[in-house]
Amino acid sequence: MATWFPKNISTYGADIDAMFWLIFYIVGVGFIISEAVILYAIFRHRKRDGRRAAFLNGEKMSEFAWVLVPTAIVFVLDLGIDFAGSSAWHKVKGEAPPTDIHVIVTGKQFNWNFTYPGPDAKFGTDDDLTIENELHVPINKPVRLVIKSDDVIHSFFVPTLRLKQDAVPGREIPAWFEATATGEYEIACAELCGYGHYTMRGFLFVHSSEDYANWLAERWPTS
């Protein structure tokens, strides 16, 4: 099943996948034990002549302990999942590492627009550049995004980065990632946003540092 996830190319993707596997093993054990007991009972405790059902109503503590002890274990495991989850969550959605690469992502029916601040590193100036459906970033460098929407709610989803963040009109939502492998990857929209929801596809280009410099030079030739 490990292969079912899309390839991971972000620094925090492994933390998210690890969370999944941690839970997978914990609940997997719970699943196997509980289903196994059910199956055992189905086959071994069928009605047979001369045998009467045991009168167990769980009112004695010694009986009910069979429920309470596993429940206590589940409780402790739950807390474990919560703790592990908390640190992963803050890593992904918390404060982004410092960086000089900033991009504004704007969802609109049915495109992703990526706005670069240009050489002056400021948004809202003449050298801003907006590209449709293409996000270009260098490898191994944190990238900070501000996610916005022009109309309805979209969700910026890059499966390989394990990055998903809703784009909500009226809000500017920060996000970040750091890609660890070059290549071309798909960007999707994960929130129903109208009849063109399924066409809201974009591309993430992760360049080597040199390629990225070249790309920048191509886009802003004067500087």
Interface residues toward ligand HEA, by CB under 6 A: 26-27, 30, 34, 74, 77
Residue (203 or 215) nearer to ligand CUA, CB: 203
Q: Give yes or no for residue 148 binding ligand CUA (CB under 6 A).
A: no
* CB 150 to other proteins: min, Å: 10
Residue located via tokens 């009910």:
64
Distances, alpha carbon 100 to alpha carbons 16, 44, 46, 183, 201, in Å: 25, 67, 69, 21, 26
- Quick one: which of 197, 205, 216, 220 contacts ligand CUA (CB under 6 A)? 197
Burial of 153-184, coded b for 16+ CB within 10 Å and e otherwise, reads: ebbbbbbbbbbbbbbbeeeebebbbbbeebee
* CB 148 to ligand CUA: min, Å: 13
- Quick one: which of 191, 202, 204, 206 contacts ligand CUA (CB under 6 A)? 191
Residue 44: CB atoms within 10 Å: 7
Residue (148 or 154) nearer to ligand CUA, CB: 154
Residue (202 or 212) nearer to other proteins, CB: 202
- Quick one: which of 103, 189, 204, 206 contacts ligand CUA (CB under 6 A)? 189
Nearest to 187 by CA among 199, 206, 165, 204: 204
Q: Rounded to an integer, what distance in angstroms lies between the CA atom of residue 163 and that of residue 96?
A: 13
Residue (18 or 217) nearer to ligand HEA, CB: 18
How does DSSP classify residue 3? Answer: G
How does DSSP classify residue 163? Answer: E
**For binding to ligand CUA (CB under 6 A), which residues are involved?**
107, 110, 154, 189, 191-193, 197, 200
